[in-house]
Amino acid sequence: MPDAAYEAAVKETFETKPLRAVLMIDDEFPTFGDLARGKDDTKKFKQADRALALYEGFRKRDMICDVENDVKDVHTERFRKSDLIILDYNLGPGEDDNERSVAILRALAESKHFNTVVVYTSKPEQDEVWLEIIASLAGGWSADLDLTGDAAVHWDRLSDAKTLPTASLDAVMQFAKRGELRDLTGPVRAAAQKELTDLGVPPNLCGEIITGLIHRELARRAGKYARSERRLATGGYEGENRWLQSRNCFVAILKKVDIGEDGDDPAGIMACLSNALLAWRPNLFQILISEIQNILELEALATEDQHLRDGETQTALWFYLLDALGELDLTGDPDVKVPLMSIIDKIVDGIRRRLSSDPDLLRLASGALLGELRDKGWTKDTWPKRGESALYKGSSELTRSSGTEKQIDVMFRLNSFFSTEKFRRAHLTTGTIFREAETQTYWVTASPACDLVARQPSGQQPWAHSLHPMTSVVAILLHEVTDHRGALTAAAQGRHIFLETEDGRKVFKLENSDRQPAYEFLFAMNEGRVREENGRQVFSAARLKPALDENGQADGSQRVLIEKTYEIVDQLRGLNATRILQMAGSHLSRIGLDFVSMPSS
């Protein structure tokens, strides 16, 4: 049973704070427009009394309520401003048809807004409703799993003989919770395997065939979404708590029953949702992210800072912006992203600092954290020690993950997450990681950020001023390392960069074998501005290289600037980027002393 402090944190951040507006979607509920026009179609609006009871219950909770009963399309923008959606499971188009409801759930899962939904259904087979929804949201099922080798031979043999068994409901439901065969309980797995071995299937092939049988059942329930791209969908059905979560959609399932006497929750919708959220058991970081979202939506952070409201600060920011913009030709559409990003950076940094010390956020997170730790049952004597495998095991258990993650992959992700972030700027800056695609050569920018701002340098810097709009960039060559485990073991030394690229995970050293950074100057075109080509962020720059003679050999007496396109890979986070700057500065300001090494014997 979850700790009381954890329960309180989940209820506060996923229910009490964010759920203020409710939209009920049911083709048997009258809308306010229907009532205002005097429509009294009892044949069409069979659930009018239920709609009124729900409406009054939500009003008592100070929740704004609306009704939608004509859903012929699935444009979720109509639902986006609703914090809680009560969705009838059988919206049509046919009688007892769930096609529109499932389409709405899939669209909500893909939306940018987090959606909390209670599926409200009169269908008696609640397990079937749960299975149909989770199968449709997940997708990626195959009615004929692509088996190979002996497993395919036995599958075809049983199929031809019409003796291919059907996966049990228990097996299908246990598998659907996370899409993993290992979630089948011992008795359920044993029963499925015995059924196959009795039909002549060797025990070592049963796992593949059981997976195929389950896929076939889930494909049947997913219907037209069976072959859609696979999405992560998880769920549970403990007791009467049926829930599932996929991307930006959390769903609780509730059976329609007679309206009760609880005026605040006559249909038990909020009780169902509360129980489902606790059964989901979001981990600490899901709670933190949810609460940050609540603060951003509910509090006026942008105007809370007194400095941002007074005329002096706003005039000062306007002055900074106009000074950075320079003279613009407004007859066209000049690019003004760079100075705007600088202003936004400063405002967002203030919001970030405000969030990191927000007392309510820290109170809620502290309660959730301590509640999670109390559930572990650790004592001072049994607490896992630093450096021991028990600490990693405890982390995995607290995450409530599948448990299939490898420690080396987790530690790589930790170092990558702490040191890099997605590049989101309009021009190069300190710590920008880029590559030459042809040679797979990687660099990191080591120039001061102020030297890389996209603007004409002052005349007091005659060389840089004369090069404009070309910008000189100090770049450190990165040396790829194949021994990822060794690099992770030495990660705390700060000599490596850990990248997650489309080509897989890569590790680079910042120094060569002499423990010195290998740097060079590149000359970026168009003030170092970044553009998009074929879905990739790129920039153009020239490298100074030896000219080649007629034999293709380097001519030591001549130099040429060779312009190429370089692809942005990632961006180092603030302190990591600053360390690159410090490393380059230390190297460029090193002092040569008059010492002479003794020759080796």
In a domain, 597, yes or no: no
Domain that holds residue 440: 415-588
In a domain, 595, yes or no: no
Residues 504 and 558 placed together within one structural domain of the fold: yes
Residues 118 and 261 placed together within one structural domain of the fold: yes
CA dihedral in degrees (565, 570, 573, 578; nearest 10)?
A: -30
Q: Which of 405, 433, 466 is the last residue of a domain?
A: 405
Q: How far apart are CA 499 and CA 505, in angstroms?
A: 6
Q: Is 238 helix (H, G, I), strand (E, B) or coil?
A: strand
In a domain, 121, yes or no: yes
In a domain, 505, yes or no: yes
Nearest to 378 by CA among 9, 3, 7: 3
Distances in Å between the Cα of 310 and the Cα atoms of 315, 320, 444 are 9, 16, 40
Residue labelled with tokens 């807004």: 113
Residues 89 and 125 placed together within one structural domain of the fold: yes
Q: How far apart are CA 543 and CA 489, in angstroms?
A: 35
Ranges of residues in the chain whose predicted pLDDT is under 70: 1, 38-43, 73-77, 93, 300-307, 601
pLDDT tens digits, one per residue of 295-351: 988 876 655 566 677 888 889 889 988 988 888 889 888 888 878 888 888 888 888
Please give the structure tokens belonging to residue 75.
């444009």
In a domain, 596, yes or no: no
In a domain, 69, yes or no: yes
Q: Which of 346, 377, 405 is the last residue of a domain?
A: 405
Strand partners, 563: 542
In a domain, 296, yes or no: yes
* Backbone dihedral angles phi then psi of residue 590, each to the nearest 5 degrees: -65, 155
CA dihedral in degrees (96, 101, 106, 112; nearest 10)?
A: -170
pLDDT value, residue 345: 84
Q: How far apart are CA 548 and CA 177, in angstroms?
A: 63
pLDDT value, residue 486: 95
Residues 105 and 35 placed together within one structural domain of the fold: yes
Nearest to 548 by CA among 540, 558, 538: 558
With 0-12 / 13-18 / 19 or more C-beta atoms within 10 angstroms meaning exposed / middle / buried, residue 52 is: middle
pLDDT value, residue 453: 81
Q: Is 120 helix (H, G, I), strand (E, B) or coil?
A: strand
Residue labelled with tokens 């490898």: 406
pLDDT value, residue 463: 84
Residues 94 and 163 placed together within one structural domain of the fold: no
pLDDT value, residue 572: 96
Residues 107 and 252 placed together within one structural domain of the fold: yes
Residues 427 and 556 placed together within one structural domain of the fold: yes
Q: Which of 377, 405, 433 is the last residue of a domain?
A: 405
Q: What is the DSSP string of 80-119?
A: TT-SEEEEES---SSTT--HHHHHHHHHHHHSSS-EEEEE
Say how many domains are in the chain: 4
SS3 content of the chain, % helix, strand, coil (to 5): 45, 20, 35
Residues 124 and 262 placed together within one structural domain of the fold: yes
Q: What is the CATH number of the domain that holds 117?
A: 3.40.50.2300
In a domain, 600, yes or no: no
Residues 169 and 215 placed together within one structural domain of the fold: yes
Residues 33 and 92 placed together within one structural domain of the fold: yes
Residues 503 and 558 placed together within one structural domain of the fold: yes
Nearest to 568 by CA among 465, 521, 499, 511: 499
Looking at residue 218, its amino acid is: L
Distances in Å between the Cα of 231 and the Cα atoms of 22, 90, 114, 137, 138 are 27, 23, 16, 7, 5
pTM (two decimals) = 0.82
Beta carbons within 8 Å of 527's beta carbon, 6+ residues apart: 427, 454, 455, 468, 469, 471
Residues 116 and 186 placed together within one structural domain of the fold: no
